[in-house]
Chain A
Amino acid sequence: MKFRYTLEVLTIIAIVVFSVIFLYTSSTMSGTKFTGTDTAGSQGIAELSGTPLENFQPLIPQWKPPGTEIESCLFALQAAIGGIIVGVVFGFWIGSGKKA
């Protein structure tokens, strides 16, 4: 009998393996903050240029989300926009497949 879900299983294994490695790494790095690469990159620029981070000012004025909760909410909104489009199209394809 042919196994149909090889790709699904491989995807789950990859996610589980990297999650375990992540949990192990984060547990061995107690006290360090899990910064994003964008922030780490900005710190690298500050080090290389010898200019403190706060001296880098936007060339074009920029609106910033007033808090991390709002930022997370807006990221979720972005994902939701994509999710709605994907859901509608997959639904349309499944529906038109059944109709046919």
Chain B
Amino acid sequence: MHIMEGFLPLQWCIIWWIVALPCILLGMYQLKKVLAADREALPLLGVTGGFIFILSSLKLPSVTGSSSHPTGTGLSIISFGPWITCVVCAIVLLFQALFLAHGGLSVLGANIVSMGIVGPIVGYAVYRLLRDTPVNIYLTVFLVTAFADMFTYITTSLELALAYPAETGGVASSFILFLGIFAVTQIPLAIIEGFVLALVFKYIVALKPDILIRLNIFSKEKINAARNEAS
């Protein structure tokens, strides 16, 4: 989903930075508040952030003849919401821009908006929709992860379409072209990522259910039901 350095006109780089910056600041403020309220949230933050580091470093081949990165944001979205996830994504994307030439500093704002803001907001909406329903928590994690991943790539497609509208068909035509490149490749990867993060969440439920209840991520009844299923 990385837009490469130099591939976005300057005005669009500035616009996406203007969108990204307040979200990063809000995320930093929320992070400070969460950690001040409960220091035991720190290891959970480590695990959820760690998975963003791991999964976004993998370049996986897809079935479309192309390869792409998972985002790994699902666990962080569920545990800490979209704004704190935005901060972790900004760190990962900065690392990749500085040391891997994936993305870049001028396009960092655009990449943060897709991976750290829009994807997590959509994922969080899915989570809030399903949290208080009888839907199984692992299915919830699966759907949150898959939707966040897909919408990251849909947003990248939109960002590029806005910057490079086609001569015939304009933004819509470009958007379809970029969706074909980014989003279609991502479908199988988003499904696998959903399964993997649901599995990781199962181990978190088994090892540290109290922190999930304390942070009100899922109700005590749902966590206990999930633990009983697994034991």
Residues of A within 8 A of B (CB): 2, 4, 7-8, 10-11, 14-15, 18, 21-22, 25-26, 29, 32, 34-38, 40-42, 44-45, 48-49, 56-60, 62-65, 71, 74-76, 78-79, 81-86, 88-90, 92-94, 97
Contact = CB atoms under 8 A, between A and B. Distances in A.
Main DSSP-derived SS at the A contact region: helix
A58 B207 CA distance: 46
Main DSSP-derived SS at the B contact region: helix
Contact of A83 (B54, B96, B166): B54
Given A21-B188, A79-B57, A65 B101 contact: yes
A14 B66 contact: no
A85 B47 contact: yes
Given A35-B66, A75-B100, 20 more contacts: A7-B195, A7-B202, A11-B192, A15-B195, A22-B61, A22-B62, A25-B65, A34-B67, A37-B66, A37-B67, A37-B186, A40-B66, A41-B178, A59-B104, A59-B106, A60-B5, A62-B5, A78-B56, A78-B96, A86-B47
Nearest to A46: B7
Contacts of A29: 65
A53 to B, nearest CB: 9
Contacts of B65: 25-26, 29, 32, 34
